[in-house]
Chains A and B, each alone.
Chain A
């Protein structure tokens, strides 16, 4: 999607290893979000950010941490990956009119923990 990129697109990692996913935006938007998508659960919020160094937990934050040292980058870290964290991870961004225009999503990162 224009203005937002996620890396890597695919990753396979071993149980117990740390993993960092990156979300990069060029829109200078204030709000950034990490969701995970699992069959039957839709999208569930992991963490979100409302500015540089300002982050907060979502509904499924256990086992995840985030950092935002620059407006354009929002990193999601799995501190010690588990098989239950196998999922597709989406980053999203929104501007000041987020309640009107919703979010713009990245293309996702498919993470497999073996």
Chain B
């Protein structure tokens, strides 16, 4: 079945690294995504990774994918107060009607 799970809350200090984790159950997933939602706003695509990749880096963001364990993580280096938001992982596979989202992880960055 389709299920994407995330921890609900993460608190870090400014300047530290943040790691947000996600697990999914569908082994047919082809693309996995990370979205960011700031207060009162819609979701904004941060990055995505194709299922045949293990890692993707984009400036301060590093995505790691462990297909065997169906585990996805998002690492934010040098976390800033502006990174405070809710982060959603989502999965898709070709032919599925829509993305399946996790419940979101609220990241709180303390100065």
Contacts and interface: CB of A to CB of B under 8 A. Distances in A.
Interface of A: 1, 33, 35, 40-45, 48, 50, 56, 58, 90, 92, 98-108
Nearest to B5: A42
Nearest to B6: A42
Nearest to A58: B98
Contacts of A56: 97
Interface string B71-111: 00000000000000000101011100111011110000000
Counting from the closest, the 6 A-B pairs by CB-CB distance are A105-B42, A42-B103, A43-B101, A42-B101, A105-B43, A102-B45
A48 B97 contact: yes
Interface of B: 4, 6, 8, 30-31, 33, 35, 40-45, 48, 88, 90, 92-94, 97-99, 101-104
25 contacts: A33-B98, A35-B101, A40-B103, A41-B103, A42-B101, A45-B97, A45-B98, A50-B97, A98-B92, A99-B31, A99-B92, A99-B93, A101-B45, A101-B48, A102-B31, A102-B35, A102-B45, A102-B99, A103-B43, A103-B45, A103-B99, A104-B45, A105-B44, A106-B42, A108-B40
A42 B8 CA distance: 10
B103 A100 contact: no
Nearest to B96: A99
A43 B88 contact: yes
A90 B42 contact: yes
Given A45-B98, A108-B42, A102 B103 contact: no
The listed residue with most A CB atoms (<10 A of its CB), out of B6, B102, B104, is B104
Given A45-B98, A48-B98, A107 B42 contact: yes
